[in-house]
C-alpha cells in the first residue's frame, strides 16, 4: 500500500494520467475509430516545465490509460463494450511510438533555453506515430498520398499548438510561476556583488599587512644592531611574527571567499538593462523595509553586455543605498541612475534629492572610516567604507574616475569608465 502511494505521488505518473484524461478531447478523421486529440502536445509542454520528466515511461503509462478510458466511456454511453479492442487498442501504439521517438529526440536536445526550431522535429514524430496507428487500422491503405498529406497537416497543427503553449509559458506564465526563484536569484546576485567588492578591498589591504610586517622586522633588526635590550628587540620580533600569522589567516579567508564566489557565480556577465532592473528592485525592497518612499528612475543609451557586472552592481548599489539612508522619513526620495557614451568612455550618473553633503565634509567622504550615519538609539556608527569601496572599485578595478558635487539639497556622483573595461568580449553593443 505504501509503495502504491509513493508511485502515485511521482510527478510523471500524474503527468501520464493528465495525458490520458486530455486524450478524451478529440475529433474523428479518416475512420470513425481514429481519434485526433490534443493530449500528445502535453508531452513537449511537460518537458519544458519539468526537464527531468521520463518521457517514454510517461507515454507508456498514458497509452493503456487512454485505451481504458475510451472503453469506459463507450461502456457508459452505449452500455456495451463490443468492439472496444479493435476500435481503441491501436491508439496504444500511437502513444508508445510518439513517446519513444520524442524521448530519443529530447535526449539530444534541451528545451532550455527554448527556441522555435526545437518544435520542428515534433511534426515528423507526430506523423510517424499516426502512421503506425493507421498502419494497424488500415493496412497498406495508409500509403495513400492524400492520407499522408492529412497526417502531415495534423502533425503541423499539433506541433504549432505545442509551440504556442510553450512560447506563452516561456514569455509570461513560467516567469510568474518562478517569481520567487527570480527574487532569490536577484538577492544572491546582489550578495555576490557585495562579497566580490569586499574581497577587492581586502586584497588592497594585503599590501598594508605585508608592509607592516616588514616594518616590524626592520625595527627588530635595527634594535639589535643598535644594542637595544633583548626584551625590546624580542617584542618587535614577536609583533612581526604575529603579523605574519595574521597575514596567513587573512589570505586563507580571502581564498575561501573567492573560491566560494567562483562556485556561486553561475553567469559570466549580463546586459546593463538587466543590471539596472535588479538595482531598481533592490532599492525599492530596501525602501519598503525601512518604511520610506522612493522613486527610482533609470535611463541608459547603450544596452551593452559586461563581465564586470558584480563591480558595477556594488558601485551603484552603495551609492543608491547611501542616498536612501540619508533620506528623511515622510519625504519621497527621488533617485536617478543614468548611462550614456562620451567618446571612448561610458558615463554614469547617480543623482538624488536626499539632503546633499555639507561643503566641509565633501573632502572627507571617500576617506576610510568616515561616516555621518549614526543610530541615535543604539549609538552605533556606520563603518564608513561604502564610498571608499566605491572609489576603489571605480579607480583601481575599472580604471575610471569618480566625481561628486552637492547642491540644492541633492548629490550628484559622476563616474567615467573606459568602454574597453566594461564591454564583454563575446557580445557587441546592442544599441547606438
Instruction: Just give the CATH number of 2-177.
Output: 1.10.1760
In this structure, the chain runs to a length of: 432
Mean pLDDT of 118-143: 90
pLDDT of residue 427: 41
Does residue 140 carry a pLDDT above 80? Answer: yes
pLDDT of residue 264: 59
pLDDT of residue 261: 67
Does residue 29 carry a pLDDT above 60? Answer: no
384 versus 229: the higher-pLDDT residue is 229
367 versus 59: the higher-pLDDT residue is 59
Does residue 3 carry a pLDDT above 50? Answer: no
Confidence category of residue 369, pLDDT binned at 50, 70, 90: low
* b/e 266-287 (16+ beta carbons within 10 angstroms → b): eeebbbbbebbebbbbbbeebb
pLDDT of residue 378: 44
DSSP class of 369: T
How many Å apart are CA 320 and CA 285, to the nearest integer? 12
Cell of 6: 509513493
Mean pLDDT of 318-326: 89
Topology agreement, domain 2-177 and domain 270-422 = no
Does residue 47 carry a pLDDT above 90? Answer: no
Does residue 352 carry a pLDDT above 90? Answer: yes
pLDDT of residue 296: 92
C-alpha closest to that of 388 among 374, 373, 371, 375: 371
Instruction: Just give the CATH number of 270-422.
Output: 3.30.565.10
pLDDT of residue 348: 96
Sort strands 410-418 and 401-407 into parallel, antiparallel or unpaired. Answer: antiparallel
Confidence category of residue 219, pLDDT binned at 50, 70, 90: confident
List, for residues 299-314, the tens digit of each pLDDT value: 999 888 888 888 898 8
Mapped to the 3 state alphabet, what secondary structure does 164-220 carry?
A: HHHHHHHHHHHHHHCHHHHHHHHHHHHHHHHHHHHHHHHHHHHHHHHHHHHHHHHHH
Q: Domain map of the chain by residue range?
A: 2-177, 185-264, 270-422
Q: Where are the beta strands (DSSP E) in 54-178?
A: none
Confidence category of residue 7, pLDDT binned at 50, 70, 90: very low
Predicted TM-score of the model (pTM) = 0.52
Mean pLDDT of 362-379: 63
Cell of 246: 595574521
Are 24 and 37 a contacting pair, CB within 8 Å?
Answer: yes
Q: Give alpha helix (H) positions in 226-341.
A: 230-264, 272-290, 309-326
List, for residues 151-170, the tens digit of each pLDDT value: 899 889 889 999 998 888 87
Amino acid at each position: 500500500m505504501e509503495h502504491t502511494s509513493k508511485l502515485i505521488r511521482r510527478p510523471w505518473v500524474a503527468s501520464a494520467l493528465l495525458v490520458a484524461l486530455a486524450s478524451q478531447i478529440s475529433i474523428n478523421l479518416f475512420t470513425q475509430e481514429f481519434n485526433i486529440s490534443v493530449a500528445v502536445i502535453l508531452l513537449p509542454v511537460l518537458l519544458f516545465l519539468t526537464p527531468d520528466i521520463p518521457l517514454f515511461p510517461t507515454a507508456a503509462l498514458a497509452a493503456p490509460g487512454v485505451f481504458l478510458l475510451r472503453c469506459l466511456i463507450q461502456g457508459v454511453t452505449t452500455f456495451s463494450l463490443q468492439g472496444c479492442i479493435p476500435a481503441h487498442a491501436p491508439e496504444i501504439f500511437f502513444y508508445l511510438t510518439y513517446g519513444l521517438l520524442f524521448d530519443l529526440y529530447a535526449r539530444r536536445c534541451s528545451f532550455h533555453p527554448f527556441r522555435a526550431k526545437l518544435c520542428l522535429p515534433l511534426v515528423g514524430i507526430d506523423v510517424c506515430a499516426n502512421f503506425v496507428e493507421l498502419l494497424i487500422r488500415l493496412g497498406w491503405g495508409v500509403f495513400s498520398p492524400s492520407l499522408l498529406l492529412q497526417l502531415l497537416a495534423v502533425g503541423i497543427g499539433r506541433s504549432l499548438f505545442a509551440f504556442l503553449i510553450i512560447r506563452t509559458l516561456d514569455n509570461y506564465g513560467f516567469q510568474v510561476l518562478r517569481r520567487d526563484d527570480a527574487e532569490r536569484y536577484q538577492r544572491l546576485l546582489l550578495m555576490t556583488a557585495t562579497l566580490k567588492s569586499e574581497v577587492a578591498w581586502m586584497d588592497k589591504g594585503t599590501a598594508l599587512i605585508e608592509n607592516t610586517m616588514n616594518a616590524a622586522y626592520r625595527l627588530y633588526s635595527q634594535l639589535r644592531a643598535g644594542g637595544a635590550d633583548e626584551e625590546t628587540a624580542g617584542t618587535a620580533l614577536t609583533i612581526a611574527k604575529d603579523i605574519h600569522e595574521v597575514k596567513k589567516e587573512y589570505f586563507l579567508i580571502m581564498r575561501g571567499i573567492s573560491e566560494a564566489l567562483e562556485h556561486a557565480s553561475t553567469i559570466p556577465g549580463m546586459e546593463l538593462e538587466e543590471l539596472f532592473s535588479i538595482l531598481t528592485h533592490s532599492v525599492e525592497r530596501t525602501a519598503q523595509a525601512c518604511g520610506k518612499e522612493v522613486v527610482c528612475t533609470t535611463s541608459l543609451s547603450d544596452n551593452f553586455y559586461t563581465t564586470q557586472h558584480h563591480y558595477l552592481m556594488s558601485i551603484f548599489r552603495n551609492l543608491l543605498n547611501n542616498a536612501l539612508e540619508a533620506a528623511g522619513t515622510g519625504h519621497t526620495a527621488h533617485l536617478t541612475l543614468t548611462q550614456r557614451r562620451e567618446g571612448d568612455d561610458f558615463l554614469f550618473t547617480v543623482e538624488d534629492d536626499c539632503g546633499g553633503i555639507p561643503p566641509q565634509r565633501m573632502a572627507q567622504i571617500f576617506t576610510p572610516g568616515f561616516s555621518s550615519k549614526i543610530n541615535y538609539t543604539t549609538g552605533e556608527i556606520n563603518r564608513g567604507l561604502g564610498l571608499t569601496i566605491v572609489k576603489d572599485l571605480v579607480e583601481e578595478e575599472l580604471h575610471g574616475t569618480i566625481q561628486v558635487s552637492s547642491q540644492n539639497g541633492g548629490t550628484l556622483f559622476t563616474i567615467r569608465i573606459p568602454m574597453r573595461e566594461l564591454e564583454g568580449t563575446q557580445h557587441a553593443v546592442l544599441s547606438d
